[in-house]
Structure 1
Amino acid sequence: MVKAVPLWLKIVTVVFIALIVVVMLAPLVVVIGTSFSANQFIAFPPKGFSLEWYHKVLSSSAYLSSGALSLGIALLVTLSSVTIGGAAAIAIHRRQLPQSELLGALFLSPLILPTIIYAIGLLMFWSAAFGPVSFITLWIGHTAITLPYVVRTTLAVLSESDPFIEEAARTMGAGRIQRLVFVVLPQCRPGLAAGAFFAFNISFDEAVLSLFLRTPDMTTLPVQIYGQLEFSPDPSVAAVSTIMIALTVILILVIDRVLGIRKFASA
């Protein structure tokens, strides 16, 4: 017979979870609160209420150009990561490639390598092999570090899929392309959506890799924020961060609307 959980253990568990929630949410409250401050410097709690810093961000050519660059890279990285990672996950799951387990480990290997080491290595390799870095370099670099998330989430979904559905489609006369489009890809959809979400957010927020692979005329939004914090910190940085937080929330709401959070989380 299972013994009842002691009251003191329940209390400790609730307190511990509450502390974790506070530690996770408190920085967000500080950032969002600071973005509406009327102060000229970063301070919390804010004194007064003002939308001045949002106006400054939305009218700043530096922030807008860096934001557009980050958004463009993130969208391209999401597309390439989902395409390559999804295809790799399907092939690995079906064991249609030689050494599938080794390939699976290879696709997940960027997770164990510190980003700064990877950035330095890619910079040295690209400079020696191809010359100066460019937009393509940044795109490839971001794609490499986001691929593991797409591969992992898609493999997780495929591991729970029913293989007999595709077999039934083949028995009914469906060709290979038809089975891929109408059977396999719908089964992969939660994993691909989860991988796309991670790929977009990781690419959009990536600062270390962007710092090493950027050019003087190519500054992403995270690098712009770091530069602002270093030379002239003001609440506009908090305003940009709040906009980025809002973008993530909007993405979650869109996924919930289209796919459902339960299916997304199960990936």
Structure 2
Amino acid sequence: MVRAVPGWLRVGAWVFVALAAVFMLAPLVVVMGVSVSASQFIAFPPNGFSFRWYERALGSPAYLNAFWLSLNLAVLVTISASLLGGAAAIGLSRGGRSGGAVETFFLSPLVLPSIIFAIGLLMLWSAVFGPTSFQALWLAHTVIAIPYVIRTTLAVLAERDPFLEEAARTMGATRLKRLWFVTLPQCRPGLLAGAFFAFNISFDEAVLSLFLRNPNLTTLPVQIYGQLEFSPDPTVAAVSTLMILITIALMLILERMLGLTRFASG
């Protein structure tokens, strides 16, 4: 017979969850508060209320150029990581004995420190292709985003009905039609979840972008880092708040398209 959970343990669990939520959300509240401060310096609680830091951020060529670069890069990474990761996940779901070793290879960027990968890619790219370029950033971000697409897609494929594809084959559907009309619809929740992760990882990636940058290739996280290092002001908080809002907007879109319950299961 299962014994009832003691009351003190349930209270302790709720307190722990509440403290963890405060610990995760408090930095976001501080950033948002600083972004509307009337003070010239980064300080919390804010002194006064003003949107001028948002006006300065949205009117700054440096921030705008960095934003468009990061956005273009994230979109391309999302497309490439979804295509490659989805294809790899479908292949792994049908793999035999060697599937485990191949999956470990594809997921290795999750355990490899970003700085080690960044240094290695910088040395390799410089030796083979010369100066770093947008293509180097695209390749690097795609490599670290692919494992997330694979994991979410494999999680969905593990729960698929294997007899649907067999039924389609029995009805005379070609391999391409089975892939397009049976397998891909089953992968859809995992692919959308993986695309969400790929976009956010690329858009927020700082270590790889810092090592692979050049004077004409500065992403938004690198621009924020440079601003904090040399002349910090609440403009950084305003830009960070806008990045938070973009992430929230993407989550709402994903909820509309997929549903958070299915997203979490993916």
Which TM bucket (shorter chain)? over 0.9
Q: Specify the alignment match of 1:138 in structure 2.
A: 137
1:95 is aligned with what amino acid? G
Is 1:48 aligned to 2:24, yes or no? no
Quote the residue 1:195 is aligned against: 194
State the partner residue of 1:243.
242
AA aligned opposite 1:227: G
Note if 1:85 corresponds to 2:95.
no
Deviation track 1:95-127 (CA, whole Å, cap 9, x = no partner) reads 17x833221111000011100011001001111
* Equivalent-residue separation in structure 1 for 2:15 and 2:261 (angstroms): 27
Q: Secondary structure at the match of 2:48?
A: coil
Q: Gapped runs of 5+ residues in structure 2?
A: none
Structure 2 SS opposite 1:215: coil
For residues 107 and 166 of structure 1, the distance between their equivalents in structure 2, rounded to whole angstroms, comes to 25
| Cα distance between partner residues in 2 of 1:91 and 1:13 | 41
The whole-number CA distance in structure 1 between the counterparts of 2:62 and 2:43 is 23
Map of 1:260 onto structure 2: 259
Q: Provide the C-alpha distance between the structure 2 equivalents of 1:178 and 1:13, rounded to a whole number of angstroms.
A: 50
SS in 2 for 1:174: coil
Q: 2-side partners of 1:6 and 1:266: how far apart? A: 30
Match of 2:10 in 1: 10
1:183 paired residue number: 182
SS in structure 2 of the partner of residue 3 of structure 1: coil
| TM-score of the aligned structures, taking structure 1 as reference length | 0.98
Equivalent-residue separation in structure 2 for 1:51 and 1:213 (angstroms)? 34
Q: In the aligned structure 1, how far is the partner of 2:119 from the partner of 2:2?
A: 55
Tell me how large the CA RMSD over aligned residues is: 1.0
SS at the partner of 1:234? coil
Equivalent residue of 2:71, what SS? Answer: helix
- Structure 1 position 129, deviation (Å): 1.6
User: Aligned equivalents of 2:25 and 2:110: distance in 1?
Assistant: 26
Please state how far the C-alpha of 1:36 moved relative to its aligned partner.
Answer: 0.6
Alignment of 1:59-74 (within 5 A): 59-74=59-74
TM-score by length of 2: 0.98
How many percent of aligned residue pairs carry the same amino acid? 66
Which deviates more from structure 2 when the two are superposed, residues 251-260 or residues 218-227? 251-260
> Aligned partner of 2:212: which letter?
L
Q: Distance in 1 between matches of 2:207 and 2:132?
A: 15
Q: Distance in 2 between matches of 1:137 and 1:6?
A: 56
- 1:122 matched to 2:121: yes
Aligned residue type for 2:177 = Q
- Separation in 1 of the partners of 2:18 and 2:258? 30
The equivalent residue for 1:231 is 230
Amino acid at match of 2:17: I
Tell me which residue corresponds to 2:158: 159
SS in 1 for 2:77: helix
The gaps in structure 1 that reach 5 residues or longer are none
- Following the alignment from structure 2 to structure 1, what is the Cα–Cα distance between the partners of residues 166 and 189? 21
Alignment partner, residue 23 of structure 1: 23
Following the alignment from structure 1 to structure 2, what is the Cα–Cα distance between the partners of residues 81 and 29? 32
